[in-house]
Every structure is written in structure tokens, then in C-alpha cells.
Amino acid sequence: MKNELNILKVYKTNPAVSDLKYGSEQAACFDISSFITFQSCVKSYTKNNGLVDLLATQDAEGKNYIDIPPEWRVLVPTGIIFDIPDNYCVKIYSRSGLSTKKGLNLINSVGIIDADYFDELFIPIYNNSQEKIRLFSGERIAQGEMAPTIRGIINYIFDKPIKKTDRDGGFGSTGV
């Protein structure tokens, strides 16, 4: 039974925008695709942090794409605007196949889309390879998960916390 509180509403800026789809019956996340329009400018950053607009073009078959140079960061448009219910967020993750096969990763590992964000979703992609990577419109570039948010109460204390276990340190301190 569907609960009105956990329904993610999605607005497509163009009828040609790909639908969000779960890859299988048990998939935890839905796939998000790029939406690149011919001769649009895609905001990008060079490996030296210069701001550059990449011009989208078409191949011989009329498919729109951008070429992402090595070590560049690109804000890939999706044509999707979420209407996220209160007390929820959408978490954005890399797609393992895109990361493994092409070297394209999310810039920030996990993106968080808050319930009060109402603009188009852009996926921040990093070309981690040493080659120029071609990214086509409609290509699955990330996956999303709608998740409940729990806002913790922040309480400042004046005494340093005491050790609760025999654990020492972090960053691998519990073993290999």
C-alpha cells in the first residue's frame, strides 16, 4: 500500500527526458539519466579549476553528447526536478558500471538533495580516467534513493567524552 508521505514526485523539463527506473524488482535505487540538448552549454571545471562551458554536439546518428576531458568535473543536466516530501531527501550515488568501465564518478561520493531544493537536478561527474570520455544524452549516469531524514539535536558539552570500549584510534584501527 502506498503512503502519500513517501511518494517522490518528479517533473520532467522536457517530454524527451528519460524516466527514472528501478533496474530490478529488488533494486534499492532508481537510475538517473543525462539530458543533453544539442548546442547547450554544460558547466564544467578544468583540472586546474578553470570554469568552462562545454558545448553539446551531435554524432552522425543525431545523438547529443558531450566529451569530458581527463580530470575535468562536469555538472551534467538531467531534465528532472524533484518534489521531495518533507522529512525526506534523495541521496545520489555513482553507478558502479559507469565508474568501473568509464572512470566517471560522482565528485562528492554521495550527493544529498534536500526536500526544499526545487531546481533541476545536475549530477556532478568527475572524469577519473586519462582519456576523453563521451557521455550521451539518455545515458544512465547516477542512481538515486529517497530516504527519510532524521535531524539530530546538537547539544554542546563541556567535558571531553569518555572512552566507551577498548578501541584505540580510527582509520583502520579495528584491523584489516
- Is 154 inside a domain boundary? no
- Read off φ and ψ for residue 4, nearest 5 degrees: -55, -30
- Is 170 inside a domain boundary? no
Residue 1 has what pLDDT?
A: 46
Q: pLDDT in tens for each of the 176 residues of the chain?
A: 455 678 999 999 999 999 999 999 999 999 999 999 999 999 999 999 999 999 999 999 999 999 999 999 999 999 999 999 999 999 999 998 889 999 999 998 899 999 999 999 999 999 999 999 999 999 999 999 999 999 999 999 999 988 888 777 767 666 66
- Read off φ and ψ for residue 18, nearest 5 degrees: -65, 140
CB atoms within 10 A of CB 92: 23
Residue 2 has what pLDDT?
A: 57
- Is 22 inside a domain boundary? yes
- Is 95 inside a domain boundary? yes
CATH number of the domain encompassing residue 33? 2.70.40.10
How far apart are alpha carbons 130 and 72 in whole angstroms? Answer: 10
Residue 154 has what pLDDT?
A: 95
Q: Which residues contact 115 (CB under 8 A, 6 or more apart)?
A: 84, 85, 86, 87, 88, 89, 149
Residue 6 has what pLDDT?
A: 83
Query: Which residue matches cell numbers 537510475?
Result: 31
- Is 173 inside a domain boundary? no
How far apart are alpha carbons 6 and 86 in whole angstroms? Answer: 9
- Is 162 inside a domain boundary? no
Residue 163 has what pLDDT?
A: 84
Domain count, the chain: 1
- Report the largest interatomic distance among the alpha carbons of the chain, rounded to a whole angstrom: 67
Contact call for residues 90 and 113 (beta carbons, < 8 A) = yes
- Is 92 inside a domain boundary? yes
CB atoms within 10 A of CB 96: 9
Q: Across the beta sheet with 133-136, what order do the strands follow?
A: 57-58, 64-68, 133-136
Query: Which residue matches cell numbers 553528447?
Result: 65
Going by DSSP bridges, is the β-strand pair 21-22/133-136 parallel, antiparallel, or unpaired? unpaired
58: domain range?
4-148
Which amino acid belongs to residue 37?
A: T
How far apart are alpha carbons 57 and 39 in whole angstroms? Answer: 6
